[in-house]
Chains A and B, each alone.
Chain A
Amino acid sequence: MKWKEESQRKQYGRALVELGKERGDVVVLDADLSSSTRTAEFAAAFPERFFNCGIAEQNMMDTAAGLASSGKTVFVSTFAVFGTGRCYDQIRQSIAYPNLNVKIVASHAGITVGGDGASHQIVEDIALLRVLPNMQVIVPADSPETFKVVKHIAKTKGPCYVRIGRADVPTITDEATQFDINKAPVLRDGKDVTLIGCGIMVSKCLEASEELTKHGIDARVVNLHTIKPIDEKTIVKAARETGGVVTAEEHSVMMGMGSAVAMALVENFHVPMKRVGIPDVFGESGGCDELMAKYGLTVDNIVEAAHDVLKRKK
């Protein structure tokens, strides 16, 4: 691999501390996982503005809602599996419905949690959160992007879900790359097929595009960092210009990013499409690379999907 790797959580922790210095209205809540989510850094710098809620995520979400209704910009962190499904009713009723300014930044999403196994490997969180009205859903591709996303959402009002992982991820963007929530960046131009990735899969799409070059295929690569609001314009343009789309996500293919792209295409411009993602199954314990291979999330899987789409293009 040609990129250096870094933890997204590290940049989350750094961004929070920066926000804490810049703004007195930023408060942070965690549910006994602050050393893992890296909110501990904010807690050390601003102890009076950090509230550990203990292992009580439902309570944490409603407490966040109360703080937000009183004018605070509230960041809430825990593992994605506990910060979504376990407290879905609280997110729905008290955060999304009243459109309150609560930013859920959840780590340890997807199967790259590794050894902890399926109980901790949520592959349904994008699906759960993107169907909630008012909720924005962002899956940063790497750690610089995570930093920028956190700084950006602090400036906007309303609820937001940011999904980051446990594993170190290849750094494919840099400090200069702008983050625009309404615009999915095209990382590589191409005319034969479009590879759309989010999170950890974006770098794999880039690698797949290089592999495809060897076969004479010119692939476009899009970093769809924001699942909602979705940048339909970039997606439809890519479909029109390349005639085929592959999506890649570390999430169930049921109702994740690939489904969101499919919906955008079905209603706007039909092209052959293939979704790379976790099939409709739970994960298991294992090493990151082993799990990514078993559940079909490798560079080869993307290349194969691109060939399949190309075959159907004619």
Chain B
Amino acid sequence: MEVYDGEFINELEAAAKRIRRHIIKMIYEAGSGHPGGSLSAVDILTALYFHILRHDPKKPDWPDRDRFVLSKGHAAPALYAALAEVGYLPLEELSTLRKMGSRLQGHPCMRKTPGVEMSTGSLGHGLAAGNGMALAAKLDRKLYRIYVLCGDGEMDVGETWEAAMLASHYKLDNVTMYIDRNKLQLDGPTEKIMSLEPLSDKWKAFGWHVIEINGHSMKEIIHATNEAKGVKGRPTAIICHTIKGKGVSYMEGSLHFHGKAPDKAEFELAMKELGGDAQ
């Protein structure tokens, strides 16, 4: 097992904190958006963009780059913040989220935003699109890998399981899917709205290699991804146990902040908790 020193992990965690601040500020300034599911996915996105992905922000079209597909498109603020932090976008542009004329649409648009690999927003499409990229990589004998981030709510979607079968059937070991298992969807707890458990067994039954981790631990995210890279002949699902709204006390585990912007007082409190000022 690769050993990551404390300083490296500290740097990633600091980046994740900056991304959380960007998210709160972007959604506050836009007046709408999805803070809960953006915050639960931040650590996964940070690990990806700061360490896991082979990519070059100066060359978003580099043919051999790893691909990342944000299937849960409503976490767009988290994606944009990560893209800006690594240099795909100027940080100042983040304040244009959801505004007229912005490259930062409410949900990701691959034709507008550099670094966005697939237009998403309608749920349950991302894994299948990632599979298409993975088939292309195999056809072209390329070594790039495809990473897909799905929300646990997307496990309700039939197409997710169609794509699960296809990835397994075509032995797409270049596909790694993270499931942001924050256990809440818009209308309530996933197990109340549409039970998903035993989720791990389901993916195993579909022929996937399955790893379960704490989705807020950089070390666990990186180790699980390294394990996935070594799996031959089948795709890997990493079930990331997360907390919706992670990092902001009153948003954690809250349904209220699935798709609602904070008001002024809430915004200031969130920024304080995340170690930033509200400017």
Contact surface of A with B, Cβ cutoff 8 Å: 27, 48-49, 51, 53-54, 56, 58-59, 61-72, 89-90, 92-94, 97-99
Q: Which residue of A lies closest to B128 (CB)?
A: A62
Q: Which residue of A lies closest to B170 (CB)?
A: A51
Q: List 5 A-B contacts (CB under 8 A).
A: A59-B162, A64-B132, A65-B125, A66-B69, A70-B132
Q: Which residue of B lies closest to A71 (CB)?
A: B136
Which B residues are CB-close (under 8 A) to A93? Answer: 119-122, 125
Cα–Cα distance between A56 and B168 once the two chains are bound (Å): 15
What's the nearest-Cβ distance from chain B to residue A203, in Å? 38
Chain B window 163-177, contacts with chain A (Cβ cutoff 8 Å), 1 for yes, 0 for no? 101100110000000
B205 within 8 A of A: no
Cα–Cα distance between A27 and B139 once the two chains are bound (Å): 10
Interface window among B13-21, B29-37, B86-94, B109-117: B109-117
B130 within 8 A of A: yes
B131 within 8 A of A: yes
Chain B window 141-182, contacts with chain A (Cβ cutoff 8 Å), 1 for yes, 0 for no? 000000000000000001100110110011000000000000
Cα–Cα distance between A5 and B126 once the two chains are bound (Å): 43
What's the nearest-Cβ distance from chain B to residue A19, in Å? 15
Which of B110, B122, B133, B165 makes the CB contact (< 8 A) with A67? Answer: B133
Which of B111, B121, B136, B159 makes the CB contact (< 8 A) with A59? Answer: B159
Chain B interface residue count, CB cutoff 8 Å, equals: 34
Contact A65:B166 (CB < 8 A) given known A59-B128, A98-B111: no
Task: List the 6 closest A-B pairs by CB distance, nearest first.
Answer: A66-B132, A62-B128, A70-B136, A59-B162, A56-B162, A66-B129
Which B residues are CB-close (under 8 A) to A27? Answer: 135, 139
Cα–Cα distance between A72 and B130 once the two chains are bound (Å): 14
Contact of B118 with A66 in the complex, beta carbons under 8 Å: yes
Chain B window 64-107, contacts with chain A (Cβ cutoff 8 Å), 1 for yes, 0 for no? 00010100000000000000000000000000000000000000
B137 within 8 A of A: yes
Contact of A66 with B136 in the complex, beta carbons under 8 Å: yes
Contact A66:B121 (CB < 8 A) given known A27-B139, A54-B165: no
Of B109, B162, B169, most A-chain CB atoms within 10 Å: B162
What's the nearest-Cβ distance from chain B to residue A69, in Å? 6
Contact of B135 with A66 in the complex, beta carbons under 8 Å: yes
What's the nearest-Cβ distance from chain A to residue B130, in Å? 6
What's the nearest-Cβ distance from chain A to residue B168, in Å? 12
What's the nearest-Cβ distance from chain B to residue A68, in Å? 7
Contact of B136 with A67 in the complex, beta carbons under 8 Å: yes
Cα–Cα distance between A93 and B108 once the two chains are bound (Å): 11
Contact surface of B with A, Cβ cutoff 8 Å: 63, 67, 69, 109-111, 117-122, 125-126, 128-137, 139-140, 158-159, 162-163, 165-166, 169-170
Which A residues are CB-close (under 8 A) to B163? Answer: 59, 62-63
Contact A58:B159 (CB < 8 A) given known A63-B128, A90-B125: yes
Contact A69:B166 (CB < 8 A) given known A93-B121, A98-B109: no
What's the nearest-Cβ distance from chain A to residue B53, in Å? 16
Cα–Cα distance between A69 and B68 once the two chains are bound (Å): 12
Which B residues are CB-close (under 8 A) to A94? Answer: 118-119, 125, 129
Which of A65, A89, A99 makes the CB contact (< 8 A) with B129? Answer: A65
What's the nearest-Cβ distance from chain A to residue B116, in Å? 10
Cα–Cα distance between A65 and B133 once the two chains are bound (Å): 8
Cα–Cα distance between A123 and B63 once the two chains are bound (Å): 41
Which A residues are CB-close (under 8 A) to B128? Answer: 58-59, 61-63, 65-66, 90
Q: Which residue of A lies closest to B131 (CB)?
A: A63
Which B residues are CB-close (under 8 A) to A53? Answer: 162, 166
Cα–Cα distance between A59 and B124 once the two chains are bound (Å): 9
Contact A48:B131 (CB < 8 A) given known A53-B166, A94-B119, A97-B119: no
Contact A62:B165 (CB < 8 A) given known A89-B122, A94-B119: no
Cα–Cα distance between A99 and B111 once the two chains are bound (Å): 8
Q: Which residue of B lies closest to A58 (CB)?
A: B159
Contact of B109 with A66 in the complex, beta carbons under 8 Å: no
Contact of B131 with A65 in the complex, beta carbons under 8 Å: no
Which A residues are CB-close (under 8 A) to B122? Answer: 89, 92-93
Cα–Cα distance between A51 and B125 once the two chains are bound (Å): 18
Contact of B134 with A66 in the complex, beta carbons under 8 Å: yes
Q: Which residue of B lies closest to A92 (CB)?
A: B122
Which B residues are CB-close (under 8 A) to A49? Answer: 139
Q: Which residue of A lies closest to B148 (CB)?
A: A66
Which of A61, A63, A97, A98 makes the CB contact (< 8 A) with B135? Answer: A63
Cα–Cα distance between A71 and B63 once the two chains are bound (Å): 9
Q: Which residue of B lies closest to A48 (CB)?
A: B139
Cα–Cα distance between A66 and B130 once the two chains are bound (Å): 6
Contact of A67 with B166 in the complex, beta carbons under 8 Å: no
Known A59-B128, A67-B135; further 12 A-B contacts with Cβ < 8 A? A54-B165, A58-B158, A62-B129, A62-B131, A66-B130, A66-B131, A66-B136, A68-B132, A71-B63, A93-B119, A93-B121, A99-B111
